[in-house]
Amino acid sequence: MNERIRIGVDVGGTFTDFVLVDEERDQIYTGKRLTTPDDPSIAILEGTARLLNEAGTEASDVHSIVHGTTLVTNTIIERTGARVGLITTKGVRDTLEMGKEIRYDLYDLFLEAPPTLVPRHLRREVEERIAPDGEVLMDFDAEAFQATARDLIENEKVEAIAVCFMHAYRNPDHERQAKAILVEKFGAVPFTISSDVAPEIREFERTSTTCANAYVQPRMQSYLERLENELRNKGHSGALYVMLSGGGITTVQSAREFPIRLIESGPAAGAMASSYYSTLTNTENLISFDMGGTTAKMCLIDGGQPDRKHDFEAGRVRRFQKGSGLPLKVSVVDMIEIGAGGGSLANVDNMGLLKVGPRSAGSAPGPVCYGLGGTDPAVTDADLYLGYLNPDYFLGGEMTLDMTTVEKAIEEKVAKPLGLTTLDAAIGIHNIVNENMAAATRMHLAEKGRDPRRYEMIAFGGAGPVHAYRLAQLLKLDRLIVPLGAGVTSALGFLVAAPAIDYVRSYVTRLEQIDWTHLNILFEEMETEARALLVDAGARPEEITMTRTADMRHIGQGFEIAVPVPNGLLDAASLSGIREAFFASYHQLFERTVRDVPIEAMSWRLAASAPVPDIKLDFSGQSSEFSDSLKGTRQVYFPETGFAECDVYDRYALKPGDTFTGPAVVEERESTTVIGPGGNVSVDPYRNLICELP
């Protein structure tokens, strides 16, 4: 088995993307197939087989496959998960409904609360009680727990069990006893205990995360097991890894136990790819713009790393309304995701206004131009009508796009209801989706206090390079980067991401009252677990690095900030350094320091990672049929010129050092880059398109 051949697979809502990296020959091969939503493994197996054929490689030569999926988030959004039973401490079964007792919209008399994943009749209580300091106030009733679990499994027919006892983050002893009973007596039933999946303070969020993990567990376990078996049947003897929402890579076994950590698995890959290109191009601050068939994702890359956060809201009742979803305590790459993809559908609402998204055509039936049964015009249809896409070179010519049906659909569904020409309707669709993405990006920058003038943009995804130039104009950016293979860059992100994992333990204490022995034990436990998992994921023990932080705040504050904590054995001598680190972090965020208010720590975190793989970007395996990079010309619409004759370049024939000026269109198999009038483009040593905007 060759340890230098790896494959990245990104399953999206419309397309499944593939990248094969052959490090022995220093070559990269890419591919793209329509996603098979009923069984994503079909597209994975077909696409992988084709990629291996193009690379002239056998399945048995592949060292590993790194996979990302939207299956977890789709399961929660569509509410298609397992029937879950929750067993909790007597008196707190209604935590999920009580939540934070805050309305996410104070003035909506018909407020729709996010539905709970576990109905009340499947939430049961048992006798046990642990105090906030970890003291056992009431012993765990093992017999009652066993009888309750049996009733839920045998009579209520639950498919998974969630266990969340009060203050188990501080003392998990009772939950561990419950776990032992579940393993011994009901081993075939998937289960989740809160002290394993989310050992953090705050009962509502911890309970919600535990239930969500159990909710998606049976489906993900079945999917990963089936995918592993099918890959084995196709001759793959290498390992299968999965990307975490925080951008790290983990083993399939860990993914089976904690599938909720994969909820942003696919989008995280794009952020990791952007981090890689940030280092490669020596660009410190980037706006990562990933626009696929279903959604657009924007993420900020600062100093070569994406922003991360340790909480996430899934399945929002109102997409942009904070508090309208299920709170989860998981580490995720901090990004915004909006319903603006190539498959986003255009329609005229009841007020006679043109709307685009968030509803998407997906892969079945897809946009009208696919000819697979779609009837409502999508963003891709408008892009085709405006000349940005070549109907004979979509997916490298594998799909032929139907212009006639597109024109008819835009006219009947949009133009006539609005009293517009078909051209104006197509322009409107294109402009609205651009404005939606620009507004969302501005808001994301503003919320983080960032100046857009410090940033450049990297664009990828099947639809990203089509819209990136105009989006960069709207954001008043000066520079745009489009990597080669932009349509599958997210899949490349799986292969340039380091094996990494985050752990957390809640231990609430004032700094001057820290039990240093207890704190050192917490970090030692986390480091031992992290090291074992990363070694299992292929990392060398000597190359693993550990980074510690703590969630800290002034006494009386409601929110914490992340503060760096030194590695090694901690003792009273470490106190002054930790305190000063808090003041420095606080001043960086709020530009003030308050030294006369006591400080408390809430949770202690460990981030463990191995080195980022060193990949040489050589796409020479995908050669061009053209000797000259200029393929020809065609009529393309630009706001500055209307329809105009535009140069069309072959992406694979462009070489480092080549330059050209817009208006221009650059075509490759999985994507198309549109450059507006006045844009100056050069090809860097890594064959990225570097566009300087006028």
130 pLDDT tier (thresholds 50, 70, 90):
very high
Cβ atoms 2, 59 nearer than 8 A: no
Q: Which pLDDT value is given to residue 352?
A: 86
Instruction: Please compute the mean of the pLDDT values over residues 50-67 and round it to a whole number.
Output: 88
Instruction: Say yes or no to pLDDT of 124 above 90.
Output: yes
pLDDT digits (tens, 9 = 90+) for 501-526: 889 999 999 999 999 999 999 999 99
Q: Which pLDDT value is given to residue 320?
A: 64
Q: Which pLDDT value is given to residue 500?
A: 84
Six-digit token string for 672: 């198309």
**DSSP labels, 108-123:** -TT--PPPPSS-GGGE
Q: Which pLDDT value is given to residue 195?
A: 93
Q: Which pLDDT value is given to residue 1?
A: 40
Q: Which pLDDT value is given to residue 316?
A: 76
pLDDT digits (tens, 9 = 90+) for 236-277: 888 888 988 888 888 888 899 999 999 988 888 889 999 989
Sequence-ordered strand ranges (E) for 281-394? 285-291, 296-302, 305-306, 308-309, 312-314, 326-328, 332-333, 335-338, 344-348, 354-360
**Closest Cα to residue 191, out of 170, 165, 164?**
164
Q: Which pLDDT value is given to residue 153?
A: 95
Q: Which pLDDT value is given to residue 264?
A: 87
pLDDT digits (tens, 9 = 90+) for 611-651: 877 666 665 555 555 557 898 899 999 999 999 999 999 99
Instruction: Please compute the mean of the pLDDT values over residues 53-77 and round it to a whole number.
Output: 85
Q: What is the mean pLDDT of the chain?
A: 89
Q: Which pLDDT value is given to residue 41?
A: 85
Instruction: Say yes or no to pLDDT of 99 above 90.
Output: no
Q: Which pLDDT value is given to residue 619?
A: 59
Q: Picking from 316-330, 485-499, 570-584, which range would have the lowest pLDDT averaged per residue?
A: 316-330
Q: Is cis: bond before 499, omega within 30 of 0?
A: no
pLDDT digits (tens, 9 = 90+) for 60-70: 888 889 988 87
- Distance, in Å, from the CA atom of 443 to the CA atom of 461, rounded to the nearest integer, reads 22
- Distances in Å between the Cα of 97 and the Cα atoms of 83, 103, 204, 205, 634 are 18, 12, 9, 12, 58
Instruction: Please compute the mean of the pLDDT values over residues 297-303 and round it to a whole number.
Output: 91
Instruction: Please compute the mean of the pLDDT values over residues 393-408 and round it to a whole number.
Output: 85
Instruction: Please compute the mean of the pLDDT values over residues 401-426 and round it to a whole number.
Output: 92
Instruction: Please compute the mean of the pLDDT values over residues 449-470 and round it to a whole number.
Output: 91
- Distances in Å between the Cα of 252 and the Cα atoms of 191, 221, 222, 225, 501 are 17, 9, 12, 9, 13
Q: Give the pairing type, strands 456-460 and 285-291.
A: parallel
- Distances in Å between the Cα of 37 and the Cα atoms of 14, 41, 67, 517 are 9, 9, 16, 51
Q: Which pLDDT value is given to residue 100?
A: 79
Cβ atoms 200, 232 nearer than 8 A: no
HEC-encoded secondary structure of 493-539: HHHHCCEEEEEEEEEEEEHHHCCHHHHHHHHHHHHHHHHHHHHHCCC
3-state helix, strand, coil in the chain (%, to 5): 35, 25, 35
pLDDT digits (tens, 9 = 90+) for 334-350: 888 887 888 889 999 88
- Distance, in Å, from the CA atom of 455 to the CA atom of 283, rounded to the nearest integer, reads 9
Instruction: Please compute the mean of the pLDDT values over residues 657-667 and round it to a whole number.
Output: 93
Most confident range, picked from 128-132, 236-240, 396-400: 128-132
pLDDT digits (tens, 9 = 90+) for 4-16: 788 999 887 778 8
pLDDT digits (tens, 9 = 90+) for 360-374: 887 678 899 988 888
Percent of the chain at pLDDT > 70 equals: 97
Instruction: Please compute the mean of the pLDDT values over residues 135-161 and round it to a whole number.
Output: 95
Q: Which pLDDT value is given to residue 625?
A: 56
pLDDT digits (tens, 9 = 90+) for 207-232: 999 999 999 999 999 999 999 999 99
Q: Which pLDDT value is given to residue 623?
A: 54
Instruction: Say yes or no to pLDDT of 547 above 90.
Output: yes
39 pLDDT tier (thresholds 50, 70, 90):
confident
Beta bridge mates, 251? 241
pLDDT digits (tens, 9 = 90+) for 587-597: 988 888 999 89
Percent of the chain at pLDDT > 90 equals: 52
